[in-house]
């Protein structure tokens, strides 16, 4: 998957388009996604990499690797809380501006990925059917303004305790945002989930 020519690959607008492709794809049965030049070092066009490894001015590789924050976290929030061989759960959305996918890992961990395409905040009400046990959903989120902050950390911002008798909640999602609700609690420095 790639970006239309109208969006620079490392722009936040491009990450929102990527998120929409991934969430739509998951819901129609796509098993995997490949991003063009996912491992590009930045020595060709300086647009596609997730990590800064090359200085295009001095034409030398950097001695220290740093993140390209917008694409790094834009893809990170879509992949970090999803275990291999997860099942895609049935999901209903009542808004054209909100695109979502729900996944359950082989060991029963739950992750909901939600994209708010609108410029405006959107109220989302989440209701989990057939919840058998109490769970805690940790909230992770990326917005363009958050990713422009030097000290951005992908940490859980809020926890939603849910139980079979109380399995729904509402939240206002910022405009142009990607949010993950997950039973996985990961610190910024923790590796993402790959398998269980």
Same domain for 59 and 95, yes or no, is: no
Quote the number of domains for the chain: 2
Q: Tell me what the pLDDT averaged over the chain comes to.
A: 89
3-class secondary-structure state, position 174: coil
**Greatest extent of the chain over all pairs of C-alpha atoms, in Å:** 61
Give the residue with greater pLDDT, 1 vs 114: 114
3-class secondary-structure state, position 143: strand
Q: Which domain covers residue 118, as residue numbers? A: 81-182
Q: Is residue 40 a contact partner of residue 22, using CB atoms and an 8 Å limit?
A: no
Nearest to 12 by CA among 111, 123, 116, 154: 116
- With a pLDDT cut of 70, the percent of the chain lying above it is 89
Same domain for 94 and 152, yes or no, is: yes
Same domain for 110 and 42, yes or no, is: no
Which residues touch 92 (CB under 8 Å, ≥6 apart)? none
Same domain for 58 and 20, yes or no, is: yes
The predicted model gives 15-32 an average pLDDT of 92
Same domain for 111 and 30, yes or no, is: no
Residue 137 maps to a domain: yes
- Backbone φ and ψ for 22, nearest 5 degrees, come out as -65, -50
Domain CATH code at residue 88: 2.60.40.1180
Same domain for 66 and 86, yes or no, is: no
Residue 88 maps to a domain: yes
Same domain for 166 and 96, yes or no, is: yes
What's the confidence (pLDDT) of residue 6?
62
DSSP string, 67-85: E-HHHHHHHHHHHTT--TT
Residue 103 maps to a domain: yes
Q: Which residue among 20, 36, 70 closes a domain?
A: 70
Residue 76 maps to a domain: no
Total-model pTM:
0.90
The predicted model gives 34-46 an average pLDDT of 63
3-class secondary-structure state, position 125: strand
DSSP annotation of 150 reads T
Q: Which residue among 51, 70, 89 closes a domain?
A: 70
Residue 5 maps to a domain: no
- Distance (Å, whole) CA 196 – CA 186: 15
Condensed to tens digits (0 to 9), the pLDDT of residues 42-82 reads: 666 656 677 778 887 888 888 888 888 898 899 899 999 99
């Amino acid at each position: 998957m790639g970006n239309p020519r109208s969006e620079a690959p490392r722009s936040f607008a491009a990450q929102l388009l990527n998120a929409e492709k991934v969430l739509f794809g998951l819901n129609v049965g796509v098993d995997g996604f490949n991003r063009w030049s996912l491992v590009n070092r930045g020595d060709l066009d300086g647009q596609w990499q997730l990590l800064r490894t090359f200085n295009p001015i001095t034409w030398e590789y950097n001695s220290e690797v740093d993140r390209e924050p917008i694409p790094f976290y834009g893809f990170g929030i879509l992949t970090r809380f999803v275990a291999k061989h997860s099942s895609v759960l049935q999901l209903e959305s009542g808004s054209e501006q909100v695109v979502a996918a729900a996944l359950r890992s082989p060991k029963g961990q739950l992750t909901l990925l939600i994209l708010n395409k609108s410029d405006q905040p959107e109220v989302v009400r989440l209701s989990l059917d057939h919840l058998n046990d109490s769970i805690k959903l940790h909230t992770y989120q990326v917005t363009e303004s958050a990713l422009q902050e030097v000290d951005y950390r992908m940490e859980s911002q809020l926890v939603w305790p849910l139980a079979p008798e109380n399995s729904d909640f509402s939240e206002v999602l910022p405009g142009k945002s990607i949010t993950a609700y997950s039973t996985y609690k990961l610190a910024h420095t923790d590796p993402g989930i790959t398998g269980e």
